[in-house]
Structure formats: C-alpha cells, structure tokens
Amino acid sequence: MKRVLENLQNKSDDAKQSIMWIGIFLIMIIIFGFWLLTFPWQVSQIAEDESTSELKKELPSVFNSLKSQVNLLFEIVKNSGLPAGR
C-alpha cells in the first residue's frame, strides 16, 4: 500500500485528477447500485380517506405551480426590459 501511495504522489497533477474522478465515479456507481438493490419494487398503495382525497382536489398540482412560477418570472423579465431568452 505504501508503494501505491508513493507511486501516486509521483504522478503528474493531470493523472492525479483523472484517478480522483475515476474513483468518485466508481464510488457513485456502487452507492447507486446498492440503492437500487434495496429499493422496494412493490410500493404499497396508501389507503386514502375522504379528507385526503378532498385535500388533493383543493391543492394545485406541482406541475401547475411550477408552470405559473415560470410564467410569472418571464413576465417580470419582460416588464423589466431584460432579454427573456425566448
């Protein structure tokens, strides 16, 4: 192990960075794979009672909320005179 570390210390900075990114990528793959293996494939249905179904009807969906916020942002940019990127 000591020889491996000495060999790594003698490499150029580009080689050290490449080894670092490869190591990070491999660790990320391992963590993601472990997460997939422990992921419950059969998600149980949550029993909905009457109050939950009424609450769902009253609340806007996440997509509609996001869409309205983006439209509001474009309106603010348009009214400020900045280029909107459209």
- Give me the pLDDT at residue 73, please: 86
Q: Are residues 8 and 30 in the same domain?
A: yes
Q: Confidence band (pLDDT; 50, 70, 90) for 3?
A: very high
Q: Are residues 34 and 7 in the same domain?
A: yes
Q: Confidence band (pLDDT; 50, 70, 90) for 85?
A: low
C-alpha separations of 8 from 1, 5, 15, 24, 51 in Å: 11, 5, 9, 16, 62
What is the count of structural domains for the chain?
2
pLDDT in tens, 61-72: 767 777 888 888
Pull the structure tokens for residue 14. Answer: 């580009």
**Domain around 62:** 50-80
Q: Are residues 32 and 56 in the same domain?
A: no
The whole-model pTM stands at 0.43
Beta carbons of 78 and 84 less than 8 angstroms apart: yes
Classify burial at 51, counting beta carbons within 10 Å of its beta carbon; exposed 0-12, middle 13-18, buried 19 or more: exposed
- Give me the pLDDT at residue 44, please: 54
